[in-house]
Structure 1
Amino acid sequence: MSEGLLYSNFRIRSLVPRALVNTLKLDVEIQDPYQVNEKFTKDFPLRKLPSFLGSHGYKLTEQMAINNYLIKLSKDEKIKTQLLGAEDDIKTQSQILRWESLANSDLMNTIVKVFLPLKGDVPYVKKNVDDASKFLEEIVSMYESRLRDYTYLASESISLADLVSAAMFIRGFNFIFGEQWRKEHPAIVRWFETVISSPFLAEETKDFKFIEKPLQPPQGGQEQQPQQQQPAQQGKPTEPSQGNGKGQPQQQQQPAQQGKPKHPLALLGDSAFPLQDWKRKYMNEDTRPSALPWFWEHYNPEEWSLWKVEYRYNDELTLTFMSNNLIGGFFTRLFASVKYMFGSMVVYGEDNNNGIVGAIMIRGHDHAKAFDVAPDWESYKFTQLDASKPEDKAFVEDMWAWDKPVIVNGEPREIIDGKVLK
């Protein structure tokens, strides 16, 4: 009996799971989901790739979880130790998870923000691409710094950290890391060539070729407008600060004055609620004694709405720092809507038993218009709150103050970390 079915296609996050099945010679069938669309959609309504359907109906999504599961199906203990780290070596295991998580979230998502506009797949907005390029170089510098002194990312041999990271770098080398970039990052190039030529990835990457020159902005650098519209200037897509986020809030650009507003929430017009004043007050003053009373005095439920936001797959979360990184990635991908939003989300619990929840205020009452700019927004459950109800008001205050445990199924769970969407 087969050990399972891996749904996988050309998308880069499917590369490593597919390679593991083949390299480890697992009894797992690989299938393009769009050739069996009805069955795939029934099994995985969110249609996320890769997805794994095990024997007896066991279902698994998210690349990191699937990678781990597939490796542990192998009977080769030496390979399992190499890829995942020894069972008694928690430092190496954690470093493998660290690099795998960084690659799967910030690295890949930022590469996409750079090359899709350059390809013309989404409208080209110079400021957005420049900001994403700057953040990408900060991520890349972490890899270059590590690999100047070490052959691999997490251990003395190729691990899952290297496989996932190299796979994500492929899209960079496909479109934006040209010859000059490679001269400036020799350690990454040496490592990348080593990893993709290893037995783990050699078959999957046999047709790979470096580009000489990176993609250039379309139309000689002019910004492309859908339907001849002038895009609104977007705020810089920075990672929200950690802890209680008491830094200065990011100043938002005003929407373009010409043409139809690009963001659907801009159609609601100006709000009487002073959002920037609120963000400054929240960042600079004590939350419960000062900021929250000011908020409730100025909050207008006709113009704004409050939402409880819960991660749907808490049972798949492992280390708390990885859960916090998940929030950070989600907030980064919401940058196009951030001028119409405020809120925070927290991680509660402990390693291998934690969850993600938060409270976010949005302009208007249609949450989809605010959140669907993030590709992973459907991984979250949204429940509208009513501030006239004491329990809903208390939930918002607790989520923004971080000074009380989260109540989950009647049990108090301590807040470990979190991020502020500002």
Structure 2
Amino acid sequence: MSQGTLYSTEQTRGIAPRALIKHFNLDIAIENKEAPAYKAAFPLDKIPAFIGPKGFKLTEIIAISVYFVNLGEQNSKLLGKNAQDYAQILKWISFASSEGVPHISTAFKGLTGAAPYNKKNIDEALKSLAVTIGVFEERLLNYTYLVGERLTLADIVAATLLVRGFDYLFDKEWRAANPNTARWFKTVFSHPIIKNVVGEYKFIEKAVQYTPPKKEKKQAAPAAKKEKAPAAKKEAEEEAAPAEAPKPKHPLEALGKPTAALDEWKRVYSNEETRETAIPWFWKNQYDPKEWSLWKVDFKYNDELTLTFMSNNLIGGFFARLLASTKYMFGCLVVYGENNNNGITGFFLVRGQDVVPAVNVAPDWESYEFTKLEDSPETREFVDNMLAWDKPVIVNGESREIADGKVFK
């Protein structure tokens, strides 16, 4: 009888569950997150996820990994010898997940171009990561493994969660400065439980460096041989020379000036009480569906978000790249949820009936999904809540508290 299905990707959080399935020879199928059953069962879109017999469902790597160990071997040594060992195992896995993965993710994604480059955020992430590794160094100075003197689930999961650090950041120089963590990682990744899934691990020599995108150089035309021209001919040529081409106008400028100036709405929203004054003013004086359109905005990759302040920084970066459209749009995006379980949603008011000319000035605009909103009581309630931030967000029928947000104005 099948023991269930694991939904996973190649991300770090999927390595340990896949390794445990193979190690214990569990009858568990592995599918990706595009499977219809996954989308129906896990609306929060978080991986790894597991469906067992009779509809039993699990999310979160710690819960899934512990469950798989128990499926494979009752009283397994991977879970320690006693209650104290078990508690320590959970502690180290949780520590690696909350204090290792987010900082590693921020650093390597920014450096590789998988996320917008922000030097301040990367430097802060690396600084925090150094503190985290310091805890591992101290423990592993006198011990081979994280809990006791034999391999446990703590080592399997924690090492796989830190693997992107070794893939991109922890080079030869770093390993020399952190020998205990480097030795431990090599030991764990050489163990058959991990090696049978990931193969022989090769360490990097140099950490990845940020490379700014290259600007295309215009090829200069070969210089023609100059001949002295008569003064009259030279003057005629100078007069005939074409004037410098005017800078292209924003495509939405062609729509002309709207009846309601956007600057006035921005002033009202910034200076008046939101619920009492600003929101009624918006619907009465600003929003005209013939001149403006409303768009719901959702970040497409919520499963990759970690800390809420980082998600809010992501919004800030997106808004900074939208500055060329300031005169033609207004919006609010919020971060809902908590650390390692959050998402981004909100709305834009856009001049005209097409959102693309307003948002495609930002290179990362396609990371967001834009849904046009028709004027309705539901739309007005959603927009009101995005303007006020005083009520939870409803996501897939679940109430989620607003943790942070930013206004584009």
Work out whether 1:213 is the aligned partner of 2:214. no
| Shift in CA distance, 87/355, structure 1 to aligned 2, threshold 3 Å | farther
Any stretches of 5+ residues in structure 1 without a counterpart? 34-38, 230-257, 318-322, 349-353
Shift of 1:72: 4.8
CA contact (8 A) 1:324 1:417 kept: no
| Shift in CA distance, 11/359, structure 1 to aligned 2, threshold 3 Å | closer
Work out whether 1:343 is the aligned partner of 2:333. yes
Any stretches of 5+ residues in structure 2 without a counterpart? 219-245, 323-330
Q: Which residue in 2 is equivalent to 1:22?
A: 22
Distance across 2 between alignment mates of 1:67 and 1:180? 33
**1:420 equivalent among 392, 405, 409:** 405
CA contact (8 A) 1:347 1:418 kept: yes
Work out whether 1:224 is the aligned partner of 2:214. yes
Q: How does 1:348-387 map to 2 (within 5 A)?
A: 359-361=346-348, 366=355, 373=364, 385=373
Q: Which residue in 2 is equivalent to 1:130?
A: 119
Q: Which residue in 2 is equivalent to 1:238?
A: none
Distance across 2 between alignment mates of 1:402 and 1:144? 37
2:194 aligned partner, one-letter code: L
2:403 aligned partner, one-letter code: G
SS at match of 1:76: coil
Structure-2-length-normalised TM-score = 0.58
Distance across 2 between alignment mates of 1:279 and 1:95? 50
Distance across 1 between alignment mates of 2:396 and 2:49? 29
Q: Which residue in 2 is equivalent to 1:76?
A: 74
Distance across 1 between alignment mates of 2:102 and 2:395? 27
SS at match of 1:23: helix
Q: Which residue in 2 is equivalent to 1:249?
A: none
| Shift in CA distance, 338/110, structure 1 to aligned 2, threshold 3 Å | farther
| Shift in CA distance, 95/110, structure 1 to aligned 2, threshold 3 Å | same
Shift of 1:137: 0.6
Q: Structure 1 vs Structure 2: percent identity of aligned residues?
A: 27
CA contact (8 A) 2:297 2:368 kept: no
Shift of 1:338: 3.0
Deviation string for 1:327-383 (max 9, x for gaps)?
5565555565334453214349xxxxx9978534365755997899599868xxx76
1:70 aligned partner, one-letter code: F
Q: Which residue in 2 is equivalent to 1:393?
A: 380
Work out whether 1:192 is the aligned partner of 2:185. yes
Distance across 2 between alignment mates of 1:384 and 1:100? 37
2:168 aligned partner, one-letter code: F
Distance across 2 between alignment mates of 1:79 and 1:43? 33
SS at match of 1:223: coil
Distance across 1 between alignment mates of 2:77 and 2:129? 28
Work out whether 1:181 is the aligned partner of 2:174. yes
CA contact (8 A) 1:16 1:67 kept: yes
Deviation string for 1:272-298 (max 9, x for gaps)?
7469x779949xx87546776787666
2:213 aligned partner, one-letter code: E
Q: Which residue in 2 is equivalent to 1:251?
A: none
Shift of 1:97: 3.6
CA contact (8 A) 1:72 1:80 kept: no
Distance across 2 between alignment mates of 1:79 and 1:355? 35
Deviation string for 1:18-53 (max 9, x for gaps)?
11212344332457x6xxxxx964545699975656
CA contact (8 A) 2:392 2:402 kept: no
Q: How does 1:1-150 map to 2 (within 5 A)?
A: 1-6=1-6, 11-30=11-30, 41-44=35-38, 52=50, 54-55=52-53, 66-67=64-65, 69-79=67-77, 81-82=79-80, 93=90, 96-97=93-94, 99-105=96-102, 107-108=104-105, 110-115=107-112, 117=113, 128=117, 130-131=119-120, 133-150=122-139
Shift of 1:107: 2.9
Shift of 1:170: 2.5
Distance across 2 between alignment mates of 1:81 and 1:95? 12
SS at match of 1:137: helix
Larger Rg: 2
Matched length: 348
SS at match of 2:117: helix
Distance across 1 between alignment mates of 2:336 and 2:101? 21
Shift of 1:418: 1.3
